[in-house]
Amino acid sequence: MSKRIILIVLLLGIAGLVWWGLERNTFQADEPVVEQPTHAEAETLGFSFMQDVVRAAPPADEAALDRIYTVLSVRARTEVARETLSADIARFVGIQDVPDMGISVEDLTIVSDERATVVLGLNYSGGRVLRAVELVVEDGAWKVDAVAIRGEEDEHEAPLADNGDAPITSPAPQPDPIVTPDPAPAPAPTPAPAPTPEEPIVGGSGGCFVGGCSGQLCTDQPDAISTCEWLPEYACYRDATCERQASGQCGWTMTPEFEACLANPGEVE
């Protein structure tokens, strides 16, 4: 009798182990497998995001605005509102003029499995500026968490101010140098050739043209455009000189009066 009881106990124990193993394998098989987003997807998202930012310029593309808000991280959505995204996104990215020469991918840095940085070039006829799109992984997909100034032209840039408030982050705010960075003086500049008689000159000299919605651009393009928003310092450009600089690029000539006006634009009537 005792042997029979021991045998039954052993059989029950074996059956219990088999049942536990089967249940454990079934539970593990039912667990969802979350794939890590790829590096290529991070680069594609950063580039597509900046393209949609350009499409969000007035008149705003509503489909682009929807895509922008969809790819923002939870933290990024605390800085912008969907209802005012068309205006908020310019401040979030730190630009106020559409890059007339397009956008380019300059660098991709994978910080970890859940963080990456895509450096994009915003190319203007008067120069190039860089923006670093910081990405994080949320719900198994890359999301835009922040956008920062990056690169060799940082000292020339000032992010867009919001309704007269101070810029978001800027070492030394300057008037709209995003399009026409102020070149460093050359030790022995070579004068630019004078324009031919048939070369059109509109509001500038040396083949340079005044453009932009508020007349704040000085480029070598007669039809340069920008988004239409007003900043106090734009009034300073009315008496400034748009001409070819020592570096050979078009730009505003920085006179003492012009610099004083930019430093205190609120005093301009």
pLDDT in tens, 43-83: 999 999 999 999 988 888 999 999 999 999 999 999 999 99
Reported as a single tens digit per residue, the pLDDT across 195-249 is: 443 333 345 677 899 988 888 889 988 878 887 777 888 888 888 899 988 888 8
In CATH terms, the fold of domain 39-156 is Nuclear Transport Factor 2; Chain: A, (3.10.450)
Q: How far apart are CA 141 and CA 38, in angstroms?
A: 9
Q: How far apart are CA 48 and CA 55, in angstroms?
A: 11
- Listed in order, the ranges of the chain carrying CATH 3.10.450.50 are 39-156
Q: How far apart are CA 47 and CA 144, in angstroms?
A: 11
pTM of model > 0.75: no
CA angle 150, 153, 155 (to 5 degrees): 95
